[in-house]
Structure 1
Amino acid sequence: MDIESLRDYCLSKPAVEETLPFGPDTLVYKVGGKVFLICPMESETFRFNVKCDPERAIELRERYACVQPGYHMNKKHWNTIYVDGSVSNTMLKEWINDSYDLIVASLPAKTRDQVKGQQ
């Protein structure tokens, strides 16, 4: 996966918006106005942050070296994924999906229903 395929994948999900609230070098993907993925464009190693269930976050960090506590994020709920080729694109997409689904589930019912209506 590279930054273009990450971008395309995120934007293919229902009701996703791409924003640059931290300046031109950090892509932020939101659903229902809430962040589910952050990707710095100017880092040495391609990486992105995704939200994760706290217990699963620990499990993934223990199992995969490319999964680290969320860089500049709440480390209980966010993981930083270093895209180094050690896990498949399918796995990366699964972690993106999990983050997206966690955020959708946390939205107010009316907003959540609107998002689900776009699927």
Structure 2
Amino acid sequence: MQYQWIDKYCLSKKAAEKDYQIEWEATRYFVGGKIFAMVGGDKYKKSIITLKCEPIFGQFLRDENKNIVPGYHMNKKHWNSVYLEDDVPDNLLKQMIDMSYKLVLNSLSKKVQEEISKEI
């Protein structure tokens, strides 16, 4: 995988945590107990990262890049999977990770968001 920076980047987000889901063979990244990124493989074992996106932006990305597809085993409207064996620019992937993190963080209760914002 050419994107070795993904783990460090996801964990650099405030209050980010990760685990490994054996059944899915996937590493999941959480904020406030909710997934914002998942790195694993598709049914052909091709490496992917699945991220939440604003629906209109997600559709735009899928239309513009053959390596970005509707979320694998996720809600196809809100999630996109990016093939990591192909050439997706780092800056675009970072933008998608940032968006996914923010969307999930903003979906948490105000109390949880405040607790996370106070963490150092």
Q: Distance in 2 between matches of 1:18 and 1:2?
A: 20
- Corresponding residue for residue 36 of structure 1: 36
- Asked if the contact 2:3/2:84 (under 8 Å) is kept, the reply is no
SS in 2 for 1:4: coil
**Aligned-pair distance for 1:3?**
5.3
Sequence identity of aligned pairs in percent? 34
- Corresponding residue for residue 19 of structure 2: 19
Q: Note closer, same or farther for the CA distance 1:22–1:108 as it changes in structure 2 (3 Å cut).
A: farther
Q: Distance in 1 between matches of 2:69 and 2:112?
A: 31
Q: Distance in 2 between matches of 1:2 and 1:76?
A: 27
- Asked if the contact 2:50/2:81 (under 8 Å) is kept, the reply is yes
Structure 1 unaligned regions, length at least 5: none
Structure 2 unaligned regions, length at least 5: none
**Aligned-pair distance for 1:38?**
0.7
Q: Distance in 2 between matches of 1:24 and 1:75?
A: 18
SS in 2 for 1:37: strand
Q: Distance in 2 between matches of 1:3 and 1:72?
A: 22
- Corresponding residue for residue 68 of structure 1: 69
Q: Compute the RMSD of aligned alpha carbons.
A: 2.1
Give the total of aligned pairs.
Answer: 119
- Corresponding residue for residue 117 of structure 1: 118
**Aligned-pair distance for 1:44?**
3.8
